[in-house]
Amino acid sequence: MTSPSLHNALCAGLLESGANVFSIGLCPTPMAYFAHYHLKTDAAVMVTGSHNPPEYNGFKMVLNKHSFFADEIQNLQLLTTLKNISTGQGTLNNIDIRNEYVKNNLKNIKFNKKMKIAWDIANGSMGTVIDSFTNQLSSVEHIVINKEVDGTFPNHHPDPTVPKNMEQLVKTVVSNSCDIGLGFDGDGDRLGVVDNKGNIIWADQYMLLLAKEISNLYENPKIIMDVKSSKVFFDEVKKFNCEPIMFKTGHSPIKEKMKEVKSPLSGEMSGHICYGDDFFGYDDAMYVGLRLLRILSNEEISLNELIGLYPKTTATPETRVDVEEIRKFEIINEIKNRLKDIKGKIIDIDGIRVENDKGWFLIRASNTQNQLTCRAESLNKDDLSDLINLIENQLKLSGVEFKFNL
């Protein structure tokens, strides 16, 4: 695909500006983040289109251990326009840090019972290291599917937030009587989970298990979750003596918020989960999966039973609606104006989220695509239907014809 040519052009440009470059080859995004810390570099750049369609590609960047995004990217573009760039001749070093990456992720990971684990690599870059992990986790049984790296993604699109992309993993878990299934996105920084009964466990559900463990390690820890997440998560986390913080969607701003409030754990419905506890604070789906497996190995009941301990709701999946790029934020503002007097709690940190006696709903603009994201949750189907109708009617008033496909 396009990653090799982008990588070569990036290296050439950095070298011409006098920068010394370490190239770590084909790898998952978290390994690039790890290299930034391990090699003590000033910055790290990952060539990746993540879960976007194969024709898309780009860069994820870190500067001095901070996410590089939004206005900073625009300012960088301005520097290139003004040709205000240093010149020189740097050096290129091709290195292999896979062993160091695997070793770091496995430190303090020990399983206390035998388990059978299904892994769906989704033909993404985690395939470059999965064997190194499974070979060292010999106390459990592994079933690995789609581990060959292939940027055309021949088996399914590598986005674990879409149920149809998880169907193969679900079948693998059920047919092999696995205790859990773990699925990755294209560049290995987002995690999908399937329980032992073949149910998809969404991020705001398995984050409860991660937060419960954190509550035993810290006094009143701050746990961050994005605005798309279930109200159940925020309510239950309080019972753990944690302080839940609802924040806008986006792994880069959430990482910065973690540093600001000294949070040991954050998450998004998209499956970006970041550990500050015993880790660097970035999103590594493999490390999160290992922590979840460690938790499961210390429990006497199954993952399905663990999730069943929490209140059940009925909800829509995260649903995306195509709109014109120029209109997506305008539509959100129009809806905010129409709903300013609606009964309930209005949260407008990212789009508009309304919580009332029927449940809650969210309409927000995507940061990366010409889409709106919609979600609703309630305790019963009738109330959920009312919330769905409200969303559909509001979109229609802004010229968007849309119906949930449930």
Q: What is the mean pLDDT of residues 133-155?
A: 96
Write out pLDDT tens, residues 350-365.
999 999 999 999 999 9
Q: Which fold has domain 3-99?
A: Alpha-D-Glucose-1,6-Bisphosphate; Chain A, domain 3 (3.40.120)
Q: Structural domain boundaries of the chain?
A: 3-99, 314-397
Per-residue pLDDT band for 238 (boundaries 50, 70, 90) equals very high
Q: In this prediction, what percent of the chain has a pLDDT beyond 90?
A: 89
pLDDT at position 189 over 80: yes
Q: At 365, list the tokens.
A: 């603009």
pLDDT at position 1 over 80: no
Long-range pairs of 357-360 with CB within 8 A, sequence gap ≥ 24: 358/383, 358/386, 358/387, 359/231, 359/313, 359/383, 359/384, 359/387, 360/231, 360/387
Taking the model in full, what pTM does it have? 0.93
Say if domain 314-397 classifies as CATH 1.10.3720.10. Answer: no
What's the mean pLDDT when you consider all of the chain?
A: 95
Catalytic site includes residue 138: no
Q: Which of 23, 50, 139, 252 is catalytic?
A: 50
Q: What is the mean pLDDT of residues 300-319?
A: 96
Q: What is the pLDDT of residue 118?
A: 99
Per-residue pLDDT band for 18 (boundaries 50, 70, 90) equals very high
pLDDT at position 141 over 90: yes
Q: What is the mean pLDDT of residues 347-352?
A: 98
Q: What is the pLDDT of residue 372?
A: 98
Q: What is the pLDDT of residue 72?
A: 83
Per-residue pLDDT band for 346 (boundaries 50, 70, 90) equals very high
Higher-pLDDT residue of 74, 119:
119
Write out pLDDT tens, residues 36-90.
999 999 999 999 987 777 788 999 999 999 988 878 888 888 777 777 777 889 9
Q: What is the pLDDT of residue 183?
A: 99
